[in-house]
Homo-oligomer: A and B are copies of this chain.
Amino acid sequence: MTTDQSRPGLRDRKKRQTRAALSAAALRLVAERGLDQVTVEEISEAADVSARTFFNYFPSKDEALLGDQPTDREVLAARIVAAPPELSAFDALRLAFGDVVEAVEADREVWLLRLRVIAANPSLLPRLISGNAETEQVIVAAVAARLGLDPCHGHPTLVTTVAGAVFRTALMQWVERPDTTTLRELTAEAFAAVAAGLPDPS
């Protein structure tokens, strides 16, 4: 378990660095040339590790671009169960995604690059936020726990997938005009539209 109370330790720090270097190299190269014009070998070379090491960090080339940190899931799930109990499950998700928005805005440039890469390589799009089986399962479980419902009941799944779709849409809209609006606004609008039953805009 390494050190518990001391600082991260050299080993962990190096791993973080390597992971970040691989992810950054992947984003940069794919942004420049396109997904299938970049090989794992080139990414690894740019990050100064062997190609084999790349696969110690990411199970596939795509994952290095999506940056779905396993810790994010747990944090998100925790916020969902911790949301004020008077909120509906959908509102709890709305709130939780607000925190995700903050995280994205804290890494604005990286996320804009990532979203540009995803927009330019649509095969990556389905795996952004929604459609990620692992993440979705965790969130569904959190929602079901919050509602005291069986996870096999349909409602938690429905709320989760819809919220994911909403946030994904907000992200893709944001990347198109990141300077004339904020992700926060777009997300709030999209969630509000769904909460209102998706009426046509007046």
Contact = CB atoms under 8 A, between A and B. Distances in A.
A201 interface: yes
Interface centre among A123, A162, A189 (most CB of B within 10 A): A162
Contacts of A195: 197-198
A198 B126 contact: no
A197 B191 CA distance: 10
B190 A158 contact: yes
A79 interface: no
A155 B201 contact: yes
Interface residues of A, number: 43
Q: Name the prevailing secondary structure of the A interface residues.
A: helix
Given A122-B133, A126-B132, A176-B152, A200 B88 contact: yes
Nearest to A196: B197
Given A161-B165, A162-B166, A176-B152, A197 B200 contact: no
Interface of A: 88-90, 122-123, 125-127, 130-133, 147, 149, 152-155, 157-159, 161-162, 164-166, 168-169, 172-173, 176, 186, 189-190, 193-201
